[in-house]
A and B are shown apart, each in its own frame.
Chain A
Amino acid sequence: GEKVEQHESTLSVREGDSAVINCTYTDTASSYFPWYKQEAGKSLHFVIDIRSNVDRKQSQRLIVLLDKKAKRFSLHITATQPEDSAIYFCAASVYGSSGNKLIFGIGTLLSVKP
């Protein structure tokens, strides 16, 4: 079946450095790739997404890159701050009989150390 692999299960960076989380997907028909942030004990919060008609999107300190040929996408967090510490999930949309569903990666626990 469709899969999304998230390559870093944990990531530790110093405040002010950049953090990069990488994901790959298997369904060539996937066209929508969102990222979610989950703080401890809380729900998922949408942070940024990218569609297959572009290869780069930026929102403030967040940059998403998409390489459709390699079926790879990544989240870059620049100038990290301690409040960026959380679990980050990548996902890819898959279209089936019930419409679209999201297939999630396993999550990356990001720690930003002061």
Chain B
Amino acid sequence: VTLLEQNPRWRLVPRGQAVNLRCILKNSQYPWMSWYQQDLQKQLQWLFTLRSPGDKEVKSLPGADYLATRVTDTELRLQVANMSQGRTLYCTCRTGTGINYAEQFFGPGTRLTVL
């Protein structure tokens, strides 16, 4: 059973251009949604966790600037700007947080390549 859909699955991004990613949650029992990035060396790094519609956060990391938005209970978005190196962005979901923290599921990922 697929819990998460991500689109696009891959994208060629001209240097200096921003790209918008979407993640759709297929099961509302896993409402805690997050974004993780995986760089070209396979290193994984947490970016954001957004629980409620309307939540919004920004972050700048080496190689890219991010803006994440929880649009609805089932949709999470990520804008990637000023990307200088390719990476893969994964959307994740889980049932709870704190002591209720449990198994976290990863979406199929969106692979971004800089032109």
Chain A residues in the interface with B (C-beta under 8 A): 31-32, 34, 36, 38, 43-46, 49, 87, 89, 91, 93, 95, 98-104, 106-107
Contacts and interface: CB of A to CB of B under 8 A. Distances in A.
B107 interface: yes
Given A44-B44, A46-B104, A101-B34, 20 more contacts: A31-B99, A31-B101, A34-B104, A43-B90, A43-B107, A43-B109, A44-B106, A46-B103, A46-B106, A89-B44, A95-B97, A98-B48, A98-B57, A99-B32, A100-B101, A102-B44, A102-B104, A104-B45, A106-B42, A107-B43
B49 interface: yes
Contacts of B57: 98
Interface of B: 32, 34, 36, 42-46, 48-49, 51, 57, 90, 97-99, 101, 103-109
A58 B104 CA distance: 19
A83 B106 CA distance: 20
A61 B64 CA distance: 40
